Amino acid sequence: MKKLVLLLLVLLAATPAHADTPWTLVKSYPHDPKAFTEGLFYRDGTLYESTGHEGLSEIRQVRIRDGKILRRASIDSQFFGEGIVDWGDKIISLTWRHRRGFVWRLSDFTQTGEFPYDGEGWGLTQDGRQLIRSDGTAQLRFIDPETLVEQRQVTVTWDGKLVPLLNELEWVKGEILANVWYSNRIARIDPASGGVIDWIDLSPLAKQVGVLDQEAVLNGIAYDAQNDRLFVTGKYWPKVFEIKLRRD
């Protein structure tokens, strides 16, 4: 019996501890430290960002190099702005608890429509065929981008356990990257099964920005597929970071 325990201990010791996906910092850029970032995506050379809080919620087009806001539109002050994503010549945006999303013209930020949905609105991304929405739980909802009607859901799990509080999302190379609220880690999710493939631990970046506000968590992922650039930021963070993942 003692031998068996010893053997088990040796085996456990020999099993490498789980290692998160390695990454390196490529560059950092200025970011509006007043932006309570709820959504982020890249399109044609610039970032698009949405911010939260009633009365302060906006859709923004942001120049990467210096963080200059090139275009902005306010969301009606009764709403708390959440995730955004582009679809063709449109931007789709969510609100937190009003179960109402908005459609905007990408070129000039004119609001052109709205749509209802179930549950809370948190993050939003798209995979080229469908929009993908998080709602603060472990569910991801796949939405028809034209009718804005939900088509299916997956439950996100890690090691057999639910991964709730999924927040800002980004579709990157066939995976869904998701911020997890109040965490400095990003989940790499298999869109078919909902299983977490691996984690990206960005706590060194959170430490580097050093914003003490409790709400100033990592939130915001944007991907420039053409140049393979991945951008991340956080609520009230003074910087947007470009990082490079090293995948196996």
Task: Kindly tell me which of 41 and 117 has the beta carbon lying closer to Ca ion.
Answer: 41
- Minimum gap (Å) between residue 32 Cβ and Ca ion: 17
Task: Kindly tell me which of 41 and 79 has the beta carbon lying closer to Ca ion.
Answer: 41
* Strands of 52-144, DSSP E: 58-62, 69-74, 81-87, 90-95, 100-105, 111-116, 124-126, 131-134, 139-143
What residues contact 61, with CB distance under 8 A and at least 6 apart? 46, 47, 48, 69, 70, 71, 72, 109
Task: Kindly tell me which of 16 and 50 has the beta carbon lying closer to Ca ion.
Answer: 50
Instruction: Give the integer Cα–Cα distance in Å for 30 and 89.
Output: 27
Instruction: Give the integer Cα–Cα distance in Å for 224 and 132.
Output: 18
Task: Kindly tell me which of 41 and 80 has the beta carbon lying closer to Ca ion.
Answer: 41
- Minimum gap (Å) between residue 231 Cβ and Ca ion: 9
Task: Give residues in contact with Ca ion (CB under 5 A).
Answer: 40-41, 170, 221
How do 100-105 and 90-95 pair as beta strands? antiparallel
- Minimum gap (Å) between residue 221 Cβ and Ca ion: 5
Q: Which residue is nearest to Ca ion (CB)?
A: 170
Task: Kindly tell me which of 120 and 170 has the beta carbon lying closer to Ca ion.
Answer: 170
Instruction: Give the integer Cα–Cα distance in Å for 169 and 126.
Output: 9
Q: Say if CB 138 and CB 162 are below 8 A apart.
A: yes
